[in-house]
Amino acid sequence: MLVSTVRYAAPETRKFARIFSASIGSEYVARGKKTVEGLVALSRKKGERVLALASAHEISFISVSVSNWEWKNESIGIISYVGEGIDSEIESISGPDAAKLISLFGWAGCGGEIEIKAGNGIMEFISEEGKKVLELRYEIRKFAGAEAHERQD
């Protein structure tokens, strides 16, 4: 998964996006003047199937394929977060919201060092040493289906 921000993101949003991406072993890309199409093209070039865009209160997800892209119909509403994260990769995702998060993240089950426990509106990122390095208070938000966008190149 590639992680970036919405356009004109506040410094706090960019900081959160960097912390979140490092904690799940994803690459953060500064948005700058890139359009969504530009970020999708970069995701394809890097072989990523999911693009995550962080805003002040939400992480939205785009499913990327060779021929098109589309917004996923669920997002993660960020209520608050505590912690500085850790530069690592996901080892496992467990808890009542695990299946939704695996789908949103496009996680393929590669070995890593971080365990994510998610349920009851709290997502905890636990290091190999058992230390909580990041805690997100969140809600899964659903919205109407999105249309597919054909590749533009």
Q: What is the pLDDT of residues 46-102, one digit of tens each?
A: 999 999 999 989 999 999 999 999 999 999 999 999 988 877 788 889 999 888 888
DSSP 8-state code for residue 149? E
The more confidently predicted of residues 108 and 107 is 107
pTM of the model: 0.86
pLDDT at 153: 58
Q: Is the pLDDT of residue 148 over 70?
A: no
The mean pLDDT of 99-122, rounded to a whole number, is 84
138, with CB counted inside 10 A (0-12, 13-18, 19+), is buried
